[in-house]
Structure formats: structure tokens, C-alpha cells
Structure 1
Amino acid sequence: MPEVALDLDIDAPAARVWEAVTDIERYPDSMESVRWVKIIDGSDPLARRSGWSVLLKGSILEWEEVERLDPDALVMAFRQVAGDMEIFDGEWRVTPLPDGRTNVRLWTRFEIGIPLLADMLNPVAERSLRSNSREMLLGIERDAVAGRRSAAAQS
């Protein structure tokens, strides 16, 4: 099963990076490929369900996922429960570094779900997800460095 893992060191404290990672509804504000994100069920602060729409190399992918948040370990794991991919899951991991910097890592794995075309489609999907992941990490960096929060998070 294909996997994509990227990480980025950010010049911001881990608490601010964690806030940017978990404030998913503001992703469209700083990530061009994210069309919309909506928390469907956020009644449990450590487990929520969200809906996503992302533009991936000219194609719109939509799905719902369940996210498990571990604020002590600074890990947000996610797993698609309905949507366009056969399997799509992964995690965001935030790690404090010396001098107030923070490493953020986005790891995903996926299965398109078309076995006869997997050899042809998986490399294309992997490159697209890698590009999308890079954009997401840079969006997290912009928001964490600026200390921005969405209107929903501020209320």
C-alpha cells in the first residue's frame, strides 16, 4: 500500500503548531487545494468526525474521516470512513525541538481501490499526495508562525 511521509521544521512553539494542525476548519484559508472542511461531530474533544473536499491534480476528492486527537503526545490520527478512496488514513505528529522550534510530520497511506489499475494509478496518486502534503505543511507553518486561528476556534 503506498505511503507518503513529509515533515517540516517550523519556527514556532509546539503548542501553536498543534493548534494549527488541529484547527482543520481553517485549512481552506491557507491551503489552496483544500476546498472545504467541516466538523460533522465534534462532541468529543478527543475524537471527531469531519468531511473534506480537496482538489488533487485537477480531480476533486471527497471523504469523511474519524480523527483521534492525543494532545499529550501531540498526535492527530485520521482514518477515512466513507469516500472516494478505498483506504485513506494517517497522522499528523508534532514534536518540540530545541530553541522553541517544532517539527510537524504528515504521514498518509492510501489504496485507490482499483486493483487492475493500481500499478498505473498509485505512482500518480502518490506524487499528487506528496505535493498536496507539502502544501498542507506550508499552510500549517504560515498559520503557526502568524498565530492565526479560525473564527470558530476563537469563540
Structure 2
Amino acid sequence: MRRIRLEALVPKADAAVVFERIRDFPRYADHTDAVREVRVERIDGDVLTSTWSVNFRNGLLCWRERDHIDGDAMHIAFAQIDGDFDRFDGSWQLAQVGEDVTVVFVAAFDLGMPSLAAIIDPIAERALREHTEAVLRGLLGEEIVFRPHRQPEEIRS
């Protein structure tokens, strides 16, 4: 299983505004060619179900996820319900720090191909990181500052 962490700082921003932009999943496709489409299927209070189609290498990854949105805590937790991953879950956490906003994205995934994991997982990790950064730049502006990332982490389920 692979785990990534992406940390960013949005200078001179309001956390509530940043949170609203990040939770607008259908707009992600406007900011990277990797995301083909995101459809919000159902909204039930602070829980929604979304369907994702994402370009990966020469194919397409598709999944449905359940998203728990907590606007007061500025936190979004997501977990795949069904789809192409064996496992895909994670979270977004935002915080107002003075005039700035910190954004932390964490995800764990398992593509379910143990014999190819050493080859495919680093490619998937890099793609997820790059496309998440592109989405955040598009949603929040070029002023966003990404903290250097550590080496990808392997975790055991």
C-alpha cells in the first residue's frame, strides 16, 4: 500500500473560501487533463457520494467514493466504495494560520497488483501528487506554495 502527503500554504487567503473551492469536486476536471469527470451523485447532509473518472497511463481509472465533509473543522474524509483500486482513501485538512491557509492532503492507495506494485505504485503516486498540485493551483491560484515532499511511504494494511 502506498501513502502520500501533500502540504501547501495559500498566502493571504480565507480558509472558508479555500474549503468551498476544494469541496467543489466537479471543478477539478477544469484544472487538469488527468481528471475526466467528477459527478456528485447524492448529497445527504454532510455526506456525499461522488463518481470519478481519471486518466492513468494509457487507460482510465474509475471509482465511487463516499465523502464526509465537516465544514466547521474544515476537513474532508473520503473512501472508495467501489472501483478500480483495491483501496483508496484519505483526507483534506485546512487551517487558518494568521493571514494564510494551510492545506494538507493525505491519501492511501492500493492498486491491487502486488506483482507490479514496485513498478506501478511509484508512477501512480507521482501522478496523484502532480495532478493534485495542478488542481490546487487552478482552484487557488499560482501563489500557492507546496512544501517539499518526503519520499513516498509504504504502509501495511
* Structure 2: distance between partners of 1:120 and 1:34: 22
Amino acid at match of 1:108: A
* Alignment match, 1:82: 82
Asked if 1:117 corresponds to 2:116, the answer is yes
Is the contact between residue 31 and residue 134 of structure 2 (CA under 8 Å) also seen in structure 1?
no
* Structure 2: distance between partners of 1:58 and 1:138: 25
Per-residue deviation, 1:16: 0.5
* Alignment match, 2:151: none
- Greater shift, 50-59 or 19-28, is seen at 50-59
* Alignment match, 1:137: 136
Identity %: 34
Is the contact between residue 56 and residue 132 of structure 1 (CA under 8 Å) also seen in structure 2?
no
Structure 2 length normalisation: TM-score?
0.83
Per-residue deviation, 1:93: 0.9
Per-residue deviation, 1:132: 1.7
Q: Which runs of 4+ in 1 moved over 4 A?
A: none
* Structure 2: distance between partners of 1:51 and 1:31: 17
Q: 1:127 to 1:22 in 2, by over 3 A?
A: same
**2:141 counterpart SS class:** helix
Amino acid at match of 1:50: S
Asked if 1:24 corresponds to 2:50, the answer is no
**2:72 counterpart SS class:** coil
Per-residue deviation, 1:13: 0.5
**1:136 counterpart SS class:** helix
Per-residue deviation, 1:58: 4.1
* Structure 2: distance between partners of 1:33 and 1:127: 12
**1:72 counterpart SS class:** coil
Q: What is the root-mean-square deviation in Å for CA atoms of aligned residues?
A: 1.8
Instruction: Identify unmatched segments of 5+ residues in structure 1.
Output: 146-155
**1:62 counterpart SS class:** strand
Amino acid at match of 1:14: A
Per-residue deviation, 1:59: 3.1
Structure 1 length normalisation: TM-score?
0.84
Question: What does the per-residue CA deviation read over 1:22-77, in whole Å, with 9 as the maximum and x for residues that have no partner?
Answer: 111222223332111111111x1310101011123443211100000111110001
Instruction: Identify unmatched segments of 5+ residues in structure 2.
Output: 145-157
Is the contact between residue 7 and residue 137 of structure 1 (CA under 8 Å) also seen in structure 2?
no
Q: 1:49 to 1:17 in 2, by over 3 A?
A: same
Aligned residues: 142
Q: 1:78 to 1:28 in 2, by over 3 A?
A: same
Is the contact between residue 111 and residue 121 of structure 2 (CA under 8 Å) also seen in structure 1?
yes
* Alignment match, 2:67: 67
Per-residue deviation, 1:104: 1.2
Per-residue deviation, 1:15: 0.6
